[in-house]
Structure 1
């Protein structure tokens, strides 16, 4: 049946701030945009309009966001005497789809078929929307086959290190991902964890997955982290003002990685997963400084009718 090269723009944690990736050749042929949650900071109507505006401006036929914010939007619309349906109708007219938790299927204009698992739920000690107490856990609905997993938070142990040096990812989500092995798993939430890793899995999957037992670390590749992307400038790894650095680097607009046939590190479906933490907001509060990701992977070709 073959496969089709498909380009994704992945971002997360815009937190109600104005943000549009600058025009670059990499964005000329984006097939799918993914926003992994935290569209707003305080769930205000202005923030929701800003978030919608960000997605509207990006040139792609399909734009996906997990539900982190959509139910809040309905409440905020009602409180502001606006009809929630109007907001979501505007989004739908621009190809924007807010995903409920679960499995979703899409036929793309490039001829590929995309199966997505989405979930906004993250572990937290706070009682906020789409958050659960770590000791209670949250049962993932991820099931094979899934091409791309879109979650707000990371799985435990992968691109989930906080500024205080603690792992903040979800153990249950790691277990589900290790069993399902999607081609790509993208998320945000942990701003310090921005980066990408191409993970190679061990066979067979363990009944109780773990980082040591299920990941072949020798054959896995760290593609980029905050430390590596900024050390390439020749500046110290600890950069006090990333916003200024970004302005100074006129050629740096997106972070791009490709894992298709013929690439240096082609992705082997079922044996590897590309993990992407696309948190846009910088480490200092209210700064929007991290780079969005442009990712090329191959997807199954849609079957002919």
Structure 2
């Protein structure tokens, strides 16, 4: 079986910051943004994000929204009579920005992503949702009793899973979201076993865990190795080498939050993007 090496540049939680405003974008084949492009989801903020993402030089660019991207949630004003002011016309205009041939926007949906130069095809699922923890009226949030059915929508054959929330217990440290990630999402991962699960949301959880699945199905007991970023404290690229990752037996959970601290918990600190290097089978094999 022929395999090809690809580079995925992973970012999340940029919160209205473009490259050059606290971080830089390394080179790669695919750019993935795991949500919270903005602070409050205004048209101005989203237009700024769409502009720099459209200009970024990658073969494929994939975006999901996050809880801060209010005007991308078409049901926001119906769910919240109070809170952030989001008008229907704002939603229409902002969602219109997501219709572009420059990038792929996923909203609890799938896409087949093809890299012609590498002859590689990946099955990607992206979702903006995160648990409703009663902290203000945020976008794309769900109650605990609906979590299991929500995550059951993820297709079995997903190679790259992108969710704004982390799974509980993996890269979900946060001074703001003390309860961490989503337990229902963590329970469903053994069924999916994607190569990479990219997330954000919990800023202090930035990093990666390599999960080794023990057995089959939801009863699997995962063992996780913590990735040590050899570039920490330097200007070198944060590289996660997954070239030896075993498909179906291992999953890399990657929290790529650019914002390094939670809002209201210290000054602004920026993380570097995480560059995932992955070997995948060529499409013809």
Aligned residue runs from structure 1 range 186-205, under 5 A: 186-205=198-217
1:3 aligns with 2:3: yes
Q: Measured at CA, do residues 43 and 125 of structure 1 come closer, stay the same or move farther in structure 2, by a change above 3 Å?
A: same
User: Contact (CA 8 Å) 1:195, 1:276: kept in 2 or not?
Assistant: yes
2:238 to 255, 262, 267: 255
- Compute the TM-score of the two structures, normalised by the length of structure 2: 0.81
Aligned equivalents of 1:62, 1:78: Cα separation in 2: 30
User: Contact (CA 8 Å) 2:37, 2:65: kept in 1 or not?
Assistant: no
How far off its partner does 1:62 sit? 0.7
Match in the other structure for 2:105: 98
Match in the other structure for 1:279: 257
Q: More deviation in 108-117 or 130-139?
A: 130-139
1:171 aligns with 2:175: no
SS at match of 1:103: strand
1:119 aligns with 2:119: no
User: Contact (CA 8 Å) 1:77, 1:83: kept in 2 or not?
Assistant: no
Aligned equivalents of 2:70, 2:95: Cα separation in 1: 9
In structure 2, the gaps of 5 or more residues are 75-85
Q: Measured at CA, do residues 125 and 259 of structure 1 come closer, stay the same or move farther in structure 2, by a change above 3 Å?
A: closer
How far off its partner does 1:161 sit? 1.9
Q: More deviation in 156-165 or 171-180?
A: 156-165
User: Contact (CA 8 Å) 1:32, 1:62: kept in 2 or not?
Assistant: yes
How far off its partner does 1:222 sit? 0.7
In structure 1, the gaps of 5 or more residues are 234-248, 261-265
Q: Which has the larger radius of gyration?
A: 1
SS at match of 1:204: coil
User: Contact (CA 8 Å) 2:202, 2:262: kept in 1 or not?
Assistant: no
1:107 to 80, 103, 114: 114
- Compute the TM-score of the two structures, normalised by the length of structure 1: 0.76
Equivalences, count:
262
How far off its partner does 1:229 sit? 6.5
Q: More deviation in 159-168 or 138-147?
A: 159-168
User: Contact (CA 8 Å) 2:72, 2:91: kept in 1 or not?
Assistant: no
User: Contact (CA 8 Å) 1:147, 1:299: kept in 2 or not?
Assistant: no
- The structure with the greater share of residues assigned to helix is 1
| Root-mean-square deviation over aligned CA pairs | 2.8
